[in-house]
């Protein structure tokens, strides 16, 4: 027997994974500090026990989705705001309130589990007693607290007051529908690669895998799952038969009207869903150039194409500076999915409500106008440019395109005669939740074969 066996040393016991509610509170705290959930949540999930991950995701998303309401309740439960250094206690408080108001977790379990999460995890010794006190007060006075919390737009609709106001100004007849739709978890919609299989055949594969789904009513490539699942459960996902993509985003490839032999520019390509769909729609393009300003984002495009088994030229480049990268050959089609406020996908990314600022709209509109002007110079006469955003704000959509048309006599609106959305100036707007889709704007412009820009 080796001497090591007699050394008397014991193997260090394995440390238990951190408490699920504590980890969810860390995600919430990070978002309250200005970090996006797409950054905060994945890092936290790697530290969690696999069995805890669904609960962490549920509480993190729910807490951020309802944060303005939860905060309005929390403010009534404390005598004064917590200090900045007590962010962890604040986040755990919101997690506890979220469990009581919006989950099926029994009230006593919501209180005890949140209090337990604070023991040993929060340095403030007063935290467990504080959490126990405010959560038990909420149980006793729930109706009165909620009544007061929902007396303001922020509490009633769980959006910041300024965002409620801007949405109401933009959509006076529809703002309540939009605000309520933003608070509903979105469906998991997938895109079937129709050059590899049919939607009907793929629905059979889903059924055989025990996944209930139905065809989307408007988009031929889209299938809506009854319940979200891990992508690893989707038949053919790793081989590129399907991708996860909202039905509204799937409209882009069809609207661009790509044909064999076309040179196509996907001008703001990340994360690559629309890039892949263009290649599925027309595999015989002469070229598809996918451009993005950020190297890390372009890597996501390349990873997407790799999974799909598709190929395109990719380039880190600024569309506003074509002199730095363009070879002088004009494109027959340009997809211009410009950076925007993403106010049409809040139901999918609820942290947008907390991270976006009112001043962003004007700044984004200025940038969008510049991108559109520069991209237009790259389009061949007779070519089509599809301008799109996942925003519902007119100053990012119809107003941008209208201003462009006023200064370019070689541009005309190519009408979108579609059975979805509503006409908004030169384009069509889908509002969140309509036709089970995210909020998107589309406008298609054709470049004249005669005339020139003013």
Residue positions counted in the chain: 454
pLDDT at 9: 53
Residue 134 confidence (pLDDT) above 60: yes
Q: 392 near 357, Cβ under 8 Å?
A: no
CA 93 to chain CA mean position, Å = 26
Residue 453 phi, psi dihedral angles, 5° rounding: -65, 145
Nearest partner of 345 among 233, 246, 253, judged by Cα? 246
Q: 266 near 317, Cβ under 8 Å?
A: no
pLDDT at 420: 93
CA distance 315 to 328: 15
Residue 189 confidence (pLDDT) above 90: yes
Mean pLDDT of 30-38: 96
Mean pLDDT of 261-287: 97
Q: Residue 149: CA atoms inside 13 Å, Cβ hemisphere, count?
A: 25
pLDDT at 228: 95
Residue 314 confidence (pLDDT) above 50: yes
Residue 120 confidence (pLDDT) above 80: no
Residue 366 confidence (pLDDT) above 70: yes
Q: Which residues pair with 394 in a beta bridge?
A: none
CA distance 250 to 323: 31
Q: pLDDT tens digits for 395-436?
A: 999 999 999 999 999 999 999 988 899 999 999 999 999 999
Least confident range of 14-28, 81-95, 305-319, 437-451: 14-28
Mean pLDDT of the chain: 94
164 part of the active site: no
Least confident range of 11-20, 133-142, 148-157: 11-20
Residue 13 confidence (pLDDT) above 60: no
Residue 382 confidence (pLDDT) above 90: yes
CA distance 276 to 290: 10
CA distance 384 to 334: 7
pLDDT at 245: 98
The CATH number of the domain covering residues in 20-158:
1.10.940.10
Q: pLDDT tens digits for 139-161?
A: 999 999 999 999 999 999 999 99
Share of the chain above pLDDT 90, in %: 91
pLDDT at 8: 46
Mean pLDDT of 375-386: 98
Residue 5 confidence (pLDDT) above 50: no
Task: Kindly list the domain boundaries of the chain, sorted by start residue.
Answer: 20-158, 189-244, 247-447
Please give the class, per CATH, of domain 247-447.
alpha beta
Q: Residue 245: CA atoms inside 13 Å, Cβ hemisphere, count?
A: 28
pLDDT at 277: 98
pLDDT at 7: 43
Q: Is the model's pTM score more than 0.85?
A: yes
pLDDT at 406: 96
Q: pLDDT tens digits for 334-353?
A: 999 999 999 999 999 999 99
Are 20-158 and 247-447 equal in CATH topology? no
pLDDT at 15: 57
> Apex CA 428: angle with CA 422 and CA 429, to 5°?
70
pLDDT at 452: 46
Please give the class, per CATH, of domain 189-244.
alpha beta
Nearest partner of 193 among 297, 336, 312, 310, judged by Cα? 310
Residue 22 confidence (pLDDT) above 60: yes
């Amino acid at each position: 027997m080796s001497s090591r066996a007699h050394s008397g040393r014991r193997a260090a016991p394995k440390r238990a994974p951190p408490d699920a509610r504590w980890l969810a509170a860390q995600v919430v705290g990070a978002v309250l500090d200005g970090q996006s959930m797409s950054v905060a949540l994945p890092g936290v999930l790697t530290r969690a026990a696999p069995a805890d991950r669904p609960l962490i995701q549920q509480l993190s998303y729910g807490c951020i989705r309802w944060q303005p309401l939860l905060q309005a309740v929390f403010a009534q439960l404390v005598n004064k705001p917590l200090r900045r250094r007590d962010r962890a206690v604040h986040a755990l408080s919101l997690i506890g309130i979220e469990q009581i108001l919006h989950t099926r977790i029994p009230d006593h379990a919501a209180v005890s589990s949140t209090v337990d999460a604070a023991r040993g995890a929060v340095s403030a010794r007063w935290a467990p007693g504080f959490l126990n006190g405010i959560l038990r007060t909420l149980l006793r006075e729930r109706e009165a607290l909620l009544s007061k919390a929902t007396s303001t737009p922020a509490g009633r609709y769980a959006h910041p007051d300024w965002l409620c106001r801007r949405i109401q100004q933009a959509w006076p007849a529809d703002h309540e529908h939009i605000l309520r739709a933003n608070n509903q978890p979105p469906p998991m919609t997938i895109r079937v690669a129709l050059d590899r299989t049919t939607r009907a055949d793929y629905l059979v594969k889903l059924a055989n895998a025990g996944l209930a789904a139905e065809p989307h009513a408007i988009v031929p490539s889209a299938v809506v799952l009854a319940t979200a699942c891990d992508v690893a459960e989707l038949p053919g996902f790793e081989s590129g038969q399907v991708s996860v993509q909202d039905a509204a985003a799937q409209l882009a490839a069809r609207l661009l009207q790509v044909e064999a032999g076309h040179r196509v520019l996907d001008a703001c390509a990340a994360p690559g869903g629309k890039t892949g769909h263009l290649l599925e729609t027309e595999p015989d393009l002469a070229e598809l150039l996918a451009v993005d300003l950020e190297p890390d984002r372009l890597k996501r495009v390349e990873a997407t194409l790799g999974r799909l088994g598709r190929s395109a030229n990719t380039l880190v480049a600024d569309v506003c500076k074509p002199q730095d990268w363009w070879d002088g050959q004009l494109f027959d089609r340009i997809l211009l999915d410009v950076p925007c406020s993403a106010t049409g996908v809040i139901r999918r990314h609820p942290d947008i409500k907390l991270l976006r600022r009112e001043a962003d709209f004007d700044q984004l509109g200025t940038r969008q106008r510049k991108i559109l002007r520069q991209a237009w110079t790259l389009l061949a006469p007779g070519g089509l440019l599809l301008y799109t955003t996942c925003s519902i704000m007119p100053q990012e959509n119809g107003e941008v395109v209208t201003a462009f048309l006023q200064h370019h006599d070689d541009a005309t609106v190519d009408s979108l005669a579609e059975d979805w959305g509503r006409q908004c100036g030169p384009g069509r707007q889908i509002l969140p939740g309509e036709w089970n889709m995210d909020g998107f704007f589309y406008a298609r412009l054709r470049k004249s074969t005669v005339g020139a820009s003013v």
